[in-house]
Amino acid sequence: MPSLRQLEYLVALSQELHFRRAAEKVNVTQPTLSAQLQELEKRLGASLIERGSGKVLLTPLGREIAERSQKILAQVQDIRDLARSSAHGFRGTVRLGVPPTLGPYLLPHIVPRLHSQHPDLKLYVREGKPRDLLSDLMGGDHDLAVVPLPVTSTDITVRSVFREPLKLVAAPGHPLAVRGNATRSDLAGEKILAMEPGHHLHDQVAHLCEQCGAELLRDYEGTSLDTLRLMVGMGVGLAFLPALYVRSEVGTRGEMEVVDLKGPALSRQIAIVWRATTVHAPLFEAVTELVRNTVRNHLKELILLD
């Protein structure tokens, strides 16, 4: 029978589609990962990986087994969590996944309150793109995650939390910054900066550009919100930045101006999610309620979702 480690290696390869990166993900050497995957194929009597094509591809059977393995590994992690939970209650370490465009600006308001309520609970935070966060959640690498909606998997419990407006920003000398407000029709022909593909914010801004006739600067896509802020300040283009980021990083710098965009507001909806099979659902419900209370009482830029 396949070992759990071999299944873990196959899942990592299915996610990375690159032997070196997959090996780094599971903290082994590339030769070890390759040898164990060959042993897995031998045990199953079937080819799972297409070799010699110049890039890593899984066979249809390999993809199916990787998907099922991901669920098995998550269930094994839930068994471990069950043992810890029965012995310690709300203690131990919770692994939280967050987008880099949200975590650094939300968590400083949440972590102190969480620690006050559950002093024996440790929070391990790792950033990632939304699609990677969900994949890692189902694979057992995260216990819960903060992600933009929509989330469609039936294996995931979804708790909608808040809506975050995206603020239009421009360099101080830009005509829209001088005026202080704009309509969507004013964006026609404007150059717009966005996060690189894979971020939810990229898709939202790209869709808005199509609607308004704005030009999405694909050669200047940012790897971080700070990169976008700097490029806006240099006059490269306009950008839409999340409200919490604007509150944290833009307000007092003078590098750019927030432009009041009239009409339908651009925003993202945020949820807290966890595996439907987890034994820590009561804790995660409590965390969700803590986030909601923090938004309600301290983060007026955000709008609570029912």
Q: Please name which of 156, 125, 158, 157 lies closest in space to residue 138, comparing C-alpha atoms.
A: 156
Residue 10 binned pLDDT confidence (cut-offs 50, 70, 90):
very high
Write down the residue that tokens 């996944």 correspond to.
97
Q: Where in the chain is the domain with CATH 3.40.190.10?
A: 163-267
Other beta carbons within 10 angstroms of residue 156's beta carbon come to: 19
Q: Pairing between strand 121-127 and 191-193? A: unpaired
Q: Are 125 and 107 in contact (CB under 8 A)?
A: yes
- The predicted pLDDT at position 83 comes to 65
Residue 251 binned pLDDT confidence (cut-offs 50, 70, 90):
low
> How many angstroms separate the CA atoms of 61 and 163, rounded?
40
Q: Are 110 and 38 in contact (CB under 8 A)?
A: no
* Beta bridge partner(s), residue 275: 156
Q: Choose which CATH entry (3.40.50.2300, 3.30.420.10, 3.40.190.10, 3.30.70.380) describes domain 163-267.
A: 3.40.190.10
The two tokens of residue 62 are 């390999």
Q: Are 88 and 61 in contact (CB under 8 A)?
A: no
Q: Where in the chain is the domain with CATH 1.10.10.10?
A: 4-72
> How many angstroms separate the CA atoms of 65 and 50, rounded?
14
* Beta bridge partner(s), residue 147: 271
Q: Is the pLDDT of residue 81 over 80?
A: no
Residue 236 binned pLDDT confidence (cut-offs 50, 70, 90):
very high
Other beta carbons within 10 angstroms of residue 21's beta carbon come to: 14
Average pLDDT over residues 88-113: 87
Average pLDDT over residues 257-274: 93
pLDDT in tens, 166-211: 999 999 999 999 999 999 999 999 999 999 998 989 999 999 999 9
Q: Is the pLDDT of residue 299 over 60?
A: yes
The two tokens of residue 5 are 């480690």
Topology annotation, domain 4-72? Arc Repressor Mutant, subunit A (1.10.10)
Residues 6+ apart with CB under 8 A from 94: 121, 122, 123, 124, 143, 144, 280, 283
pLDDT in tens, 12-69: 999 888 899 999 989 999 999 999 999 999 999 999 998 765 678 899 999 999 988 9
Q: Please name which of 58, 64, 66, 72 lies closest in space to residue 155, comparing C-alpha atoms.
A: 72
Q: Pairing between strand 215-216 and 144-148? A: unpaired
What is the rounded radius of gyration, in angstroms, for the C-alpha atoms of the chain?
22
Which parts of 139-220 fold into alpha helices (H)?
Answer: 175-179, 200-212
The two tokens of residue 208 are 């808005």
Range scoring the smallest mean pLDDT among 71-85, 215-229, 239-253: 71-85
Which has more pLDDT, 83 or 105?
105
